[in-house]
Structure 1
Amino acid sequence: MILSLEKFRETLDANRGLTIRTLQAFPEDKLFTYSPVEPLRPFSEMILEVLDVERGYTRGIALGDWEYTQPYAGVSSKADLLKACQETQESVRNWWHEITEERLAVVEKDPFFGGEMSHFDRLQYALENEIHHRGQGYIYLRLLGIEPPFFYER
Structure 2
Amino acid sequence: MSRVDSYKDGWLSHRKALQALIETLENNNLSFKPWDNAMSLSELVLHISSSTSMFVRTVNEGIFTPPNEGKTPETVEELKQMVQSDTDKTLTYLESITEEQLNQLVEFSGMKMTGLAMLETAKDHEIHHKGQLFTYARLIGVEELPFFVIRG
What TM-score, normalized to structure 1? 0.84
Change (3 A) 1:22 1:37: same
**What secondary structure is seen at the aligned counterpart in 2 of 1:47?**
helix
**What secondary structure is seen at the aligned counterpart in 2 of 1:25?**
coil
Higher relative contact order (CA 8 A, sep 6+): 2
User: Which residue of structure 1 lines up, in the alignment, with residue 98 of structure 2?
Assistant: 100
What TM-score, normalized to structure 2? 0.85
User: Which residue of structure 2 lines up, in the alignment, with residue 150 of structure 1?
Assistant: 147
- CA shift, 1:65, in A, is 6.0
- CA shift, 1:150, in A, is 2.5
**What secondary structure is seen at the aligned counterpart in 1 of 2:23?**
helix
User: Which residue of structure 2 lines up, in the alignment, with residue 131 of structure 1?
Assistant: 127
Identical-residue share of aligned pairs (%)? 23
Aligned residues: 150
Contact 1:25 1:146 in 2 (8 A): yes
Structure 1 stretches of 4+ with a deviation exceeding 6 A read none
Could you tell me which amino acid in structure 2 is paired with residue 135 of structure 1?
A: G
Contact 1:12 1:127 in 2 (8 A): yes
Structure 2 stretches lacking a partner, 5+ long: none
Structure 1 stretches lacking a partner, 5+ long: none
Contact 1:63 1:95 in 2 (8 A): no
* Separation of aligned partners in 1, 2:7 and 2:106: 21
* Correspondence for 2:61 among 59, 63, 67: 63
